[in-house]
Amino acid sequence: MASPVLSPLPGSRPDHFHGDLSNLPGGEPIPLPTHKMSKREKWEAHKGQCFNAVMSDSVPLDRPQPEQRSSNCKNLHSSYSGLPTASVVMVFHNEVASTLLRSVHSVLNHCSPDLLVEIILIDDASSPEPDRFTPERWSKLQEPLEKYIRLLPKVRLVRLRKRRGLMLARMEGAWRARGDAVVFLDSHIEATRGWLEPLLHRIKEDRRHVVVPSIEGLHFDDFSFKGSSGLGVLSFTWTLGQSPQPIMDHDGVKPLQSPIMAGGLFASDRAFFMHLGGYDPGMRYYGGEEMEIGFRTWQCGGSIEFIPCSHVYHVFRESRYWQGTDSGGVAYKVPAMDITRNKLRAAAVWMDEYARLVEYASPILPSDMPMGDLSDRKALRERLQCRSFKWYLDNVAKSIVAPPSDGLLAGALRNPSLNACIDTLGGDQPGLYPCHGQHGTQGLVMDTGGLVRVPLLMYKSCLTTHSKGSAIRLHLRPCPDGKKSNGHGNPEFLWHLDPESKRLSVSTHSGMYCLEAVQRQTSQSPVDAHLVPCSEQRMAAQEWEWQA
């Protein structure tokens, strides 16, 4: 469905480029209750969204956004010329209608008509869900939404009959886009003055630039403007999570290279985006796509850049007031293992031998959940003649601590007699716990030098010992070697697993000590680990093996 309105409405001005949208029928805000919300009312307002839908409904669809640009950015704005055109793609699934339309208003208000070709809304099969998205809220996304869109300039609505997930739904928008550039935005944002031009200018300078704005925060409960979210330059962790990087000694204007992107908001030359393969069609729902696009863009000839002169507000959900019975405080029903699967797919295609480090740091996929066919993505990588992941680490993600990937022993260190594994126990004083076979707190990696690292702690923490009275206990401390392969000069970090006796030993101030499993009865764990002087006598309590 497309709006028949192809040009701006009357009342066009610099903060309302597409005309005065403030008094369109059907867009009136709903007044808030005059009394303070009870705990139950607050729960209902946040249900299924992790933001206050009642407050969103009370905020005008057309409202001004604070100016976030520096004076240098504003001065630079007049120099932009000859920019490419843009199609904006927003995917939504069970979005609050007022939040979605406020997003659309802000884009129309702050995009010059000669730059904005269209806004493409992709409804990823929204449907009523009694425990999180009421029929009343769903109904507002049906005929009332369509009726309202017909009044707006340049908006198209595409309804998917079956839920495709964020990545494939975005591709539905990208395939339909007619602009030179495609801009992906979440459906709970508010664009600001001058947000689009800096992105398009950088793409004009080099179509291989994939660019991201400064993402500011919209408060999840009162929808106030909160300022920077810290999502600017991002790197990654070995669980393929986002890791914000400090920005120092910067003029606030120049683009900054970023190893990955936040994922929800970015712009790219449309032809270059397609040339790079779009989104991985084998990924489900969402999660991991920001890593996959980040690795692929850099390794295949492009770059990802943070553009500090472009600002877009975004609602960051919080589960403070609503935690659905089966939600864990998450707005969308997405199985956690599907997100892990997405990340493992990205690692398997783009990370070469370093993919093992992600596998060791991640939960093990269920036997009935394969990663899926990777042949098309690997063929894409071959066809584009993309660089190695080592090149990416050496030239782009330089801050990442990458332990040596050759000759690793990995899994859980298990004592077979008690079926107990070394476990971090969530702190820096590891002990033993019944083996659970899911990596996580029991995942360990030993390199050829004898350092035993904890993947869950990004390989930065190593197993060592410390004295507690007369006892010597396990301890975690920062690995001594940075990116080197051994802990030479730190023998208390170097472990040896004897293949014959199966004893696990380490040097201490009192000599060589061996790890011994013992039974005990506590609320935390029925087993524990002691370090005792090594002896020649073979004991089942001192036998250890790697369990994948």
Find the helix or strand (DSSP H, E) in which 159 lies: strand 155-159
**pLDDT of res. 520:** 79
**pLDDT of res. 324:** 55
pLDDT in tens, the chain (548 residues): 999 998 999 999 999 999 999 989 988 999 888 888 899 999 999 999 999 999 999 999 999 999 999 999 999 999 999 999 999 999 999 999 999 999 999 999 999 999 999 999 999 999 999 889 999 999 999 999 999 999 999 999 999 999 998 999 999 999 999 999 999 999 999 999 999 999 999 999 999 999 999 999 999 999 999 977 777 899 999 999 998 888 776 778 999 999 999 888 999 999 999 999 999 998 888 888 999 999 999 999 999 999 999 999 999 999 888 875 444 445 666 667 888 999 999 999 999 999 988 988 888 888 888 888 999 999 999 999 999 999 999 999 998 888 777 778 889 999 999 999 999 988 899 999 999 888 889 999 998 889 999 998 888 899 999 887 777 889 999 998 654 445 556 888 999 999 999 999 998 878 899 999 988 766 667 888 889 998 877 789 999 999 87
Comma-separated ranges of CATH 3.90.550.10 domains in the chain: 39-274+302-315
**pLDDT of res. 333:** 64
pTM: 0.89
421 phi and psi angles, rounded to 5 deg: -120, 150
Helix (H, G, I), strand (E, B) or coil at 152: coil
CATH topology of domain 39-274+302-315: Spore Coat Polysaccharide Biosynthesis Protein SpsA; Chain A (3.90.550)
**Antiparallel, parallel or unpaired: β 471-478 and 495-497:** unpaired
424 phi and psi angles, rounded to 5 deg: -70, -20
- Angle (CA) 121-123-128 rounded to 5° is 145
**pLDDT of res. 334:** 66
CATH topology of domain 409-547: Trefoil (Acidic Fibroblast Growth Factor, subunit A) (2.80.10)
Q: Letter for the amino acid at 125?
A: A
Comma-separated ranges of CATH 2.80.10.50 domains in the chain: 409-547
Inter-axis angle of helices 336-350 and 375-384, to 10 degrees? Answer: 40
Query: Which residue in this structure is represented by tokens 């899994």?
Result: 411
Assess contact for 218 and 55: CB atoms under 8 A.
no
